Structure 1
Amino acid sequence: MATQQIPAQRADQEQRVVELSIQGMTCASCVGRVERKLGRLDGVEASVNLPLESAVVRVPASISDQDLIDTVTATGYGAHVVHPDRPGGDAHDHEHTPSLLGARLVLAALLSVPVLLISMVPALQFANWGWVVFALSVPVVTWSAWPFHRAAAVNARHLSSTMDTLVSIGVTAAFLFSAWQLAADPTLTQHPGMAGMDAHALYFEVAAVVVTFLLLGRFLEASAKQRAGNALKSLLSLGAREAHVLRTVDGERIEVTLPADTLIPGDEFVVRPGEKIATDGVVTEGAGAVDTALLTGESIPVEVTAGDAVTGATINTSGRLVVRATRVGSDTVLSHMGRLVSQAQSGKARIARLADRISAVFVPVVLVLAILTFVLWLVLTGDLDAAFTAAVTVLVIACPCALGLATPTALLTGTGRGAQLGILIRGPQVLEDTRTVDTIVLDKTGTVTTGAMAVDDVVVLSDMDAPGLLRLAGAVEAASEHPIAQAIARHAAARGRLPETTGFSSAPGGGVRGEVDGVTVTAGRAAWLEENGIRPTGEQTAAFGTAEDAGATAVWVAVDGDVAGIITLSDTVKEGSAAAIGHLRRLGLRPVLLTGDNRAVALQVAAAVGIDAVDVRAGVTPAGKVDAVRELQAAGATVAMAGDGVNDAAALAQADLGIAMGSGTDVAIEAADLTVMGNSLEQVAQAIELSRRTLGTIKGNLFWAFFYNAVGIPVAALGLLNPMLAGAAMAASSVLVVANSLRLRSFGR
């Protein structure tokens, strides 16, 4: 993903997408600074993610990777390009790893406890206790607080400020003010019981305890972020490590065990029961059952045999399979899933831009408020200690950690959980689209029904015999990807070898035409026959209507311009489709069934799953599907569309929210906003619910982050809050936001 090329029409417009790992960011202000600096480069667009410590940057050809790294470095942070073989970054800012933060936290806690007890409990004080407290505080406000001081110094060199600036200034001010008072009067704590809460207050305990609380918050935050990212890491590590590749040596086929990443398209490899399939491919020999739960979330194994496609990282549960590799490396479904999840986690929803705009000016405003608080307290009360305490409290409580974590932690957790369930969210803006959707259009074949059409009957309407008619129809239909065409072709091929077809042509959702054994065969819908100048007689049309009224899908077959017969097929409703429709209704969505089949078939399916007859659109062409979506939109509906075929791609793109079934075609998946890797309609409902839940979590996080600062800063400025309590509250706010986001990990359990 580091240097993914994006096609462009002109060389000067050619762009790449580069992923950077960024070290040293601690809050929303850091994110805003990096985005602004990168955005000043000509043609560069950047989206920075705080929990992932990364940036996804769209870069024109004129900008090099080193230009990006130099820009980030000049901003005060470290950066390097993430390489495609190490998704998510291969290094982190060691200052902010849980292990080092834990060490700093342990030291701070061990020293802060005696500092706090001695300073606040007169019975524990002894002669010159202030100097002991001073000595115990020094390691806390220096080594333990070093990440805050270091970040503040880096930003200061660039005439900037972040939440670390507030922490560093507050802690340093409390420590230096206390040290100055103690140095000015070395006998200040000469007598036991002289608590530092009197006229000559010492604030060593404030400095030490604030550092401890903030380190605790950052440690818990770092640990939670690490857990939140585990879903993506688990996804990317699902692939098989080895493959048993078949090689021909001296005319004999032997198995050679090779690393899975050395496979190339065309290689054949053996998969035994219990082994992972090394990469995407097609079964060439054997039959078995494949457990796809790792990618699709579905627990029931899928039966496969020769000719069936299989996906890398899924598990063969029974039978010996020989698979021919079709896609390897970054082209596989697993890699595609990883890219989609990572890109979604690195993006930003529109709602998050509000937090970015506020954080850009937040820290300077807080610094001004702290100064004003100090001056006003000093002028109005003349109490230096009270003025100092209020100012430090404002600095400590205002840190915008929670604001910076509100959106990305929810995205990280929600999209990661989605990946575990086989749900891929293309980008954060999709979350907001799911909130407004009120109507969902469902393609019948492959979405509501199994899509596994089966031939029921061959009705001859000419002097040709049924086997001959089926043979001709099967030959021309074999060149089409449509489920109905494939069903006819499979049925015909099972009864004999099919002849070659030449001059093939087709219309999506209409029918096919080609030359077979010297005759022109046309098969499809009535409109397709008319388009080719073929008009059935009244008797033939009546026979066709009878077949459709019985609930079958009927296909015309004509030979050399004359109707030769009808082939009827049937489909079955997917198990769970009715429950899924109920789930969609509970989410406030109105289901609409869309199909190219006749109305009798469509009404039967609709009745079986609980869709109202007035919401059935039958006999719809692919272009008509787009028109149906537009018609609903024109009536004021916000439309989601779920489909799985090539003929659904245009409608998926037209819909306000496109949902592709992962069992469908690549073009359908590319046109969609949401992808469910399984073929269950329940996953569609689950995808919408997860998206809405993730958006709700983001909104909740932002509300509490804003509310916390809106209430906390005035309370601190009025002198109603102790700096130590402010530090604890600030740490708690960040942990609360991350913990709220982590609740998404239990979705669907």
Structure 2
Amino acid sequence: MKQQKFTITGMSCAGCAANVEKTVLALDGIKSAAVNLMLGKLSAEYDSQKLSAEKIAESVQKLGFGVTVDEEEKQATIREEQSEETGILLKRLKQSAVFSILLMLVSMLPESILPISTIANGFIQLLLLIPILFINRAYLTKGFKSLIKGSPDMNSLIMLGSAASLFYGLSVLLKNIFGDPALPKQTAYFFDSAGMILVIVTLGKYIEGRSKASATSAIEKLIKLAPDTAIIEIDGEEKEIAASALKPGDIIIVKAGSAVPIDGIVYEGNASMDQSAITGESIPVFKQKGDQIFSATTNVNGYIKVQAVNVGKDTALAKIIDLVENASYTKAPIGRLADKISGIFVPIVLLLALITFTTWLLKSVPFDIALMRAVAVLLVSCPCAMGLATPVATMYGTSKAAFSGILIKSAQDLESLAHAETVILDKTGTITEGKPAVTDIIVADNTYNQDSFLALAASLEKLSGHPLASAVLNEAEKRSLKLEEAEDLKLWAGQGISGKIIGSEIIAGNKSYMDNSSVELGEYAQTAEKLAKEGKTPLFFAKENKLCGIIAVADPIKENSIKAVEMMKEMGLETIMLTGDSKITAEAIGKQVKTDKIIAEILPEGKEAEVRKHMKSGKTTVVIGDGINDAPALTAADVGIAVGAGSDIAIDSADIVLVKSDLGDAVTAIKIGKAVIKTIKQNLAWAFSYNFIMLPVAAGVFSSFGIELNPMLASALMAMSSITVVFNSARLKNSH
């Protein structure tokens, strides 16, 4: 299967997007297709043996839309595409407005000022209308194509409204020319209505386009963060080349004030780097040889050479852009009702217009009034407002999150965050720094001193990979201790490690592992308990089932963890700390961060079971973790949040990634989720109530009270309905 994105121009409403999806999904070889109305994009997954990108593009072009196949190595220039489309709308608006103003003057000026016959007046109006129809023919052709394909959309409503006014005007003109000369001539042609409908719709689409552009500007800003060029050294001379020409292994020069176009490792020099574009953290970070550098970070002060590791679409920035863009293709469950209604809305409106026209004719209302009421029904309805209610708010929310260092993969995750009731937090690396250090070395066997005991422990833990093992190794390295080679290493999940060193069986782990291995702890069991009460993790080491000693390791609590948990509780969330540590150690940490519950001594495979057990109570559950053993729990949760400094597996398994590894960002993510869903609800409430109220008004239900809608006002209200949804969503930019 191949994944391909396409840029589509000319989509103006949710109906357009639905038609594109429906057409593409009908092709043989298509697995999935999703249209992003905000970005004007189609993402399709298809069998390249049965189908090609060109055939997919061709099927969309037949609907009347412009299509280009996106290049894989090229980031989308969203703003340029939107600016081009908005520019076309503005040009059409200006040209149409000139003829429309003249048309309105000719239709409204009395005969005393414009001394021409009624028939001549009609001909002039028709001649002025023709260029307006030609300039805005896109609405008419797309609307007609959608109608005959059996998938009418907003363009179809505009086309029918304009066509009805046009054909009515033509019938009046013909009647005036060929009718009984003795009868008075009709002066109401409604050619001005046909023209103004198109002008007002174009004005609305232009304003809407400008407004939507601000929602997608976040992605464009992200794209522009990485420079297009890089400086390399060739034969001792500096040379500027295109960043797209860089390959892994290339070495680039990054001077003060310059941004980095690739992910890499500092090869030479040192510098203070502003990483705010990636992490959201404004304080510069000192980087020296061997340190990792991300694309879009800026050298504040210093001079470094960086060896490229990831380039182009493989950089951290490119992946962030993909996450934000891909999230906007997804739909929150709350928006599915709107999608279902949008799918049948236009046919219902067409039926209502027909009923309106027929009913008023049967009530002996003049033909022109019955027709104009039917046209008003066609034009006042707004499927676009319903179609935009979810994607605009989602785009603003995910973009705002991205600039805060929070990467949200799906709109569904936003809704789950909004309904969150319980937050389950892993301890190591999530609540704590994930950088444990040795605090105590207690020797139990007189044949060892501190250094020789530490050397034995480090020799066994050398290949463990566990964070606590890293603390032991770091301490041994500080003391420049010589380590032995360990053989027959075995990892015992949730308990410890075993192996042979110089022929002797060495085991290391928690108290449970020692008990299971029949190691006598004696008075050292109480020593370990005391250490645990201080929030330290005691690691037991035994040789041939005889205790050698204890190494205590402590992992400091992150500076903002206590505040983050406090904020979660203020939001009414239940907080639970889940850890494999002993109950005593876990309680010591739990008391400091004040979580509501503490679940300790949980094996890695038990974390997922614990999460599922909690979810059975019906509570929407968020899990936050960073390690490999957190991945199953992250996947099982309603929302899995991975802290960015964690393992790749945890990040891949998560729904949301916190780039800064800041637990406070989890609180921000929940707040954004609540704000987005609240905005979507407001948008949907507006869209539904607007149509519920305005359709009866347009149909003339309240005409006996003098309340009427002419087609021009109806089209203006339709445009304003969509714009209101976009402006309401834009408030998310300033939400906290």
TM-score when scaled to structure 2?
0.89
Q: Which moved more, 1:299-308 or 1:357-366?
A: 299-308
Please, what is the CA RMSD of the aligned residues?
Answer: 3.2
- Is 1:100 equivalent to 2:82 in the alignment? no
Query: The residue matched to 1:346 in structure 2 has which SS?
Result: coil
1:714 offset after TM fit, Å? 1.5
Query: The residue matched to 1:538 in structure 2 has which SS?
Result: coil
Query: The residue matched to 2:363 in structure 1 has which SS?
Result: helix
Residues 686-722 of structure 1: per-residue CA shift (max 9 Å, x gap): 1122122222222222222222222221211125212
Match of 2:172 in 1: 181
1:157 offset after TM fit, Å? 5.4
Q: 1:50 to 1:390 in 2, by over 3 A?
A: same
Match of 1:722 in 2: 710
Structure 1 counterpart of 2:163, one-letter code: T
Give, in whole Å, the separation in 2 of the partners of 1:53 and 1:409.
12
Q: 1:209 to 1:242 in 2, by over 3 A?
A: closer
Percent of pairs with identical residues: 34
| 8 Å CA contact retained: 1:21, 1:92 | no
| 8 Å CA contact retained: 1:292, 1:301 | yes
User: Which structure 2 residues correspond to residues 7-46 of structure 1 after superposition, within 5 A?
Assistant: 15-42=1-28, 44-46=31-33
Give, in whole Å, the separation in 1 of the partners of 2:174 and 2:553.
95
Match of 2:548 in 1: 564
Q: 1:82 to 1:119 in 2, by over 3 A?
A: same
Structure 2 counterpart of 1:642, one-letter code: I
Structure 2 counterpart of 1:489, one-letter code: L
Q: Which moved more, 1:316-325 or 1:141-150?
A: 316-325
Q: 1:154 to 1:560 in 2, by over 3 A?
A: same
1:742 offset after TM fit, Å? 1.7
| 8 Å CA contact retained: 1:659, 1:674 | yes
Which of 200, 203, 218 aligns to 1:216? It is: 203
Structure 1 counterpart of 2:283, one-letter code: I
Structure 1 counterpart of 2:90, one-letter code: G
1:437 offset after TM fit, Å? 2.1
Which of 148, 155, 166 aligns to 2:146? It is: 155
1:186 offset after TM fit, Å? 6.8
Structure 2 counterpart of 1:142, one-letter code: L
Query: The residue matched to 1:317 in structure 2 has which SS?
Result: strand
Give, in whole Å, the separation in 2 of the partners of 1:95 and 1:143.
22
Residues 11-53 of structure 1: per-residue CA shift (max 9 Å, x gap): xxxx222222223322222222222222223452211121222
Residues 202-227 of structure 1: per-residue CA shift (max 9 Å, x gap): 32332233222211110011112222
User: Which structure 2 residues correspond to residues 58-97 of structure 1 after superposition, within 5 A?
Assistant: 58-65=45-52, 66-88=54-76, 97=85
| 8 Å CA contact retained: 1:413, 1:745 | yes
Structure 1 counterpart of 2:172, one-letter code: Q
Structure 1 counterpart of 2:164, one-letter code: A
Which of 461, 486, 511 aligns to 2:496? It is: 511
Match of 1:6 in 2: none
Give, in whole Å, the separation in 1 of the partners of 2:269 and 2:437.
23
Query: The residue matched to 2:225 in structure 1 has which SS?
Result: coil
Q: Which moved more, 1:691-700 or 1:647-656?
A: 691-700
| 8 Å CA contact retained: 2:5, 2:69 | yes
Count how many residue pairs are aligned between Structure 1 and Structure 2. 720
Give, in whole Å, the separation in 2 of the partners of 1:264 and 1:473.
42
1:440 offset after TM fit, Å? 0.3
Query: The residue matched to 2:581 in structure 1 has which SS?
Result: coil
Q: Which moved more, 1:302-311 or 1:291-300?
A: 302-311
1:278 offset after TM fit, Å? 3.7
Give, in whole Å, the separation in 2 of the partners of 1:324 and 1:358.
54
Match of 1:444 in 2: 427
Q: Which moved more, 1:166-175 or 1:301-310?
A: 301-310
Match of 1:616 in 2: 598
1:442 offset after TM fit, Å? 1.0
| 8 Å CA contact retained: 2:79, 2:217 | no
Give, in whole Å, the separation in 2 of the partners of 1:520 and 1:218.
76
TM-score when scaled to structure 1?
0.88
User: Which structure 2 residues correspond to residues 684-699 of structure 1 after superposition, within 5 A?
Assistant: 684-699=666-681
Match of 1:580 in 2: 564
Residues 330-369 of structure 1: per-residue CA shift (max 9 Å, x gap): 3322222122212111122233333333233322332232
Which of 156, 164, 177 aligns to 2:155? It is: 164
| 8 Å CA contact retained: 2:162, 2:197 | yes
In structure 2, runs of 5+ residues without a counterpart are: none
| 8 Å CA contact retained: 1:597, 1:619 | yes
Give, in whole Å, the separation in 1 of the partners of 2:710 and 2:659.
53
User: Which structure 2 residues correspond to residues 233-272 of structure 1 after superposition, within 5 A?
Assistant: 233-244=220-231, 258-272=241-255
Structure 1 counterpart of 2:145, one-letter code: V
1:61 offset after TM fit, Å? 4.5
| 8 Å CA contact retained: 2:248, 2:310 | yes
Match of 1:468 in 2: 452
| 8 Å CA contact retained: 2:99, 2:132 | no
Which of 91, 94, 109 aligns to 2:97? It is: 109
1:561 offset after TM fit, Å? 3.9
| 8 Å CA contact retained: 1:552, 1:569 | yes
1:661 offset after TM fit, Å? 0.9
User: Which structure 2 residues correspond to residues 219-234 of structure 1 after superposition, within 5 A?
Assistant: 219-234=206-221
Give, in whole Å, the separation in 2 of the partners of 1:503 and 1:745.
57
Match of 1:7 in 2: none
Give, in whole Å, the separation in 1 of the partners of 2:430 and 2:22.
44
| 8 Å CA contact retained: 2:79, 2:213 | no
Match of 1:145 in 2: 136
Query: The residue matched to 2:163 in structure 1 has which SS?
Result: helix
| 8 Å CA contact retained: 2:264, 2:308 | yes
Q: 1:638 to 1:653 in 2, by over 3 A?
A: same
Q: Which moved more, 1:497-506 or 1:704-713?
A: 497-506
In structure 1, runs of 5+ residues without a counterpart are: 1-14, 189-195
Q: 1:88 to 1:502 in 2, by over 3 A?
A: farther
Match of 2:390 in 1: 407
Q: 1:30 to 1:360 in 2, by over 3 A?
A: same
Give, in whole Å, the separation in 1 of the partners of 2:123 and 2:471.
86
Q: 1:453 to 1:136 in 2, by over 3 A?
A: farther
Residues 368-426 of structure 1: per-residue CA shift (max 9 Å, x gap): 32222222212212411211211111111124221222222222222222221111111
| 8 Å CA contact retained: 2:644, 2:660 | yes
Give, in whole Å, the separation in 2 of the partners of 1:255 and 1:350.
54
| 8 Å CA contact retained: 1:175, 1:207 | yes
Q: 1:566 to 1:169 in 2, by over 3 A?
A: same
Q: Which moved more, 1:201-210 or 1:106-115?
A: 106-115
